[in-house]
Amino acid sequence: MKYLHPTFTLLVSALFSGALFAQESGDSNREAATVILDETAVKNLRIETIVAEEREFETTVFAIGRIEEIPANRFAISSRISGKTVEVNAFVGDHVKKGQVMVKVESRLPGDPPPIISLKASHDGLVIDSHVRIGQPVDPEAELLDITDRSEMWAIAKIPEQAASGVKIGTKAHIRIPALGGVLIEATVLRYGVTADREAGTIEGIFKIPNPDGRLYPGMRAEFSIVISSRSDVLAVPRASVQGDPTKRVVYVKDFELPNAFVRVPVHLGEQNEEYVEVINGVFPGDDVVTQGSYSLGFAGDGSGISLKEALDAAHGHEHNEDGSELTDDQKENKGSGKTENDQGGGEAQSGLLGSNKALLIYGGIMTLITLLLAQQLWNKRKTTPSA
């Protein structure tokens, strides 16, 4: 017989105690972690869920910036001759087409009447500035109208210097314009700025984005999530789903059998980006995870008027204990014999006591067996040791 190290006895004791604790506390944990609402409460809290699934997870760098005009898309209207303005057909805010007559200038050359020159738009665009009025003298060096083509715009990100090494020409980014309601626009890095901001510790990354409806204006705030790497098959949930303090993160998962019931599940998290958080464990693919309304669920457990027992009774069609556990045979017999709740409670206490005593007996038996094995080993060892 091999010698059993005393550590083995401690290990067996710890495992047995842990199993006993889990058996006794499992049902009560479910009751404490489950929030059950009625239909009205679900509507008032505007509960929404999303199916947790594995996805392409992007590691991003966040930056802020502004929308600016593309310098090459700005044009000026001017006259090649000296004269006087006799007609103005475009004003600030007007959208004009290429070839449209903008201004008419009467020449100073002699004639009866004097020659009139029509100044036309060289490109489609928006009139953003005017320096001309009817009757105003005109000189060739003066700009009369400024026109810009805003069908495309620059989005200029202020990228932190410590993150700039991961950003290359062609790197993808998700751009959010708060003034447009947070709609995401995808673009790639076109070029860099020519200087760095010493005070802010940033460099400029320039993106070209479409603006077909003209809703983007210079100076608008832009938020950038610049993708520096990605991983496939990563289980992730929306950031709005995660609640709790940094040491105890939880999400609420829709119960698979009870209607309008949500279970608070502790989670271990990994990386996060602007939309999603990686879940290392705690949530499984296919779980219905609460997104909108998850914060409110932390305060909605009391006031719904529906207990775990009532919900399980309705779902399964038979009675349960207050903590949601199934009735034992003794409890069912007590129910059938018409005993009072006090009698039943006494029976439950007695049943629990018997269960605890049984567990203690098993534990004592295991420890006794281990002690006998150790004693036998020591006795055999002493017999084989020659006396001095």
Can you tell me the distance from the alpha carbon of 224 to that of 222, in angstroms, rounded to the nearest whole number?
A: 7
Decide which of 349 and 64 is more confident: 64
- Topology annotation, domain 60-69+151-232: Elongation Factor Tu (Ef-tu); domain 3 (2.40.30)
**pLDDT at 54 exceeding the cut of 90:** yes
Would you say 110 and 88 are in contact if contact means Cβ atoms under 8 Å apart?
Answer: no
Task: Say what the pTM is.
Answer: 0.61
pLDDT digits (tens, 9 = 90+) for 201-252: 999 999 999 999 999 999 999 999 999 999 999 999 999 999 998 889 999 9
Phi, psi torsion values for 195, nearest 5 degrees: -140, 165
Residues 6+ apart with CB under 8 A from 209: 152, 153, 154, 155, 175, 185, 187, 216
Can you tell me the distance from the alpha carbon of 152 to that of 124, in angstroms, rounded to the nearest whole number?
A: 12
Q: How much of the chain exceeds pLDDT 70, in percent?
A: 74
Question: Which tokens in the block code for residue 133?
Answer: 């009025």
pLDDT digits (tens, 9 = 90+) for 285-334: 999 999 999 888 888 754 444 554 555 555 555 565 655 566 676 666 66
pLDDT digits (tens, 9 = 90+) for 104-147: 999 988 878 889 999 999 999 999 999 999 999 999 989 999 99
Alpha carbon 213 to its chain's center: 29
Mean pLDDT over all residues of the chain?
A: 82
**pLDDT at 200 exceeding the cut of 80:** yes
Can you give the residue ranges of every domain in the chain?
Answer: 1-37+301-388, 60-69+151-232, 74-148
Residues facing residue 224 across a β-bridge: 63, 175
Q: Which residue has the tokens 């320096």?
A: 131
Would you say 157 and 107 are in contact if contact means Cβ atoms under 8 Å apart?
Answer: no
**pLDDT at 361 exceeding the cut of 80:** no
Can you tell me the distance from the alpha carbon of 81 to that of 89, in angstroms, rounded to the nearest whole number?
A: 19
- Topology annotation, domain 74-148: OB fold (Dihydrolipoamide Acetyltransferase, E2P) (2.40.50)
What confidence score (pLDDT) does residue 331 get? 64
Quick one: average pLDDT of 75-98? 94
Q: Which residue, among 29, 31, 89, 38, has the nearest Cα to 259 in the 3D structure?
A: 38
Can you tell me the distance from the alpha carbon of 351 to that of 346, in angstroms, rounded to the nearest whole number?
A: 8
Neighbour count for residue 109 (Cβ, 10 Å) = 10
Q: Which residue, among 41, 52, 45, has the nearest Cα to 293 in the 3D structure?
A: 45
pLDDT-derived band at 384 (thresholds 50, 70, 90) equals: low
Question: Which tokens in the block code for residue 193?
Answer: 């700025």
Can you tell me the distance from the alpha carbon of 83 to that of 107, in angstroms, rounded to the nearest whole number?
A: 4
Would you say 127 and 90 are in contact if contact means Cβ atoms under 8 Å apart?
Answer: yes
Residues 6+ apart with CB under 8 A from 140: 78, 79, 80, 81, 82
Can you tell me the distance from the alpha carbon of 182 to that of 141, in angstroms, rounded to the nearest whole number?
A: 44
Neighbour count for residue 27 (Cβ, 10 Å) = 17
What confidence score (pLDDT) does residue 259 get? 85
What confidence score (pLDDT) does residue 349 get? 47
What confidence score (pLDDT) does residue 388 get? 47
Q: What is the DSSP string of 287-324?
A: -EEE-TTHHHHTT-SSSS---HHHHHHHHHSS-B-TTS
Quick one: average pLDDT of 53-77? 94
Quick one: average pLDDT of 2-17? 48
Neighbour count for residue 121 (Cβ, 10 Å) = 20
**pLDDT at 185 exceeding the cut of 80:** yes
Phi, psi torsion values for 13, nearest 5 degrees: -65, -45
Q: Which residue, among 99, 137, 74, has the nearest Cα to 90 in the 3D structure?
A: 99
What confidence score (pLDDT) does residue 113 get? 84
What confidence score (pLDDT) does residue 380 get? 75
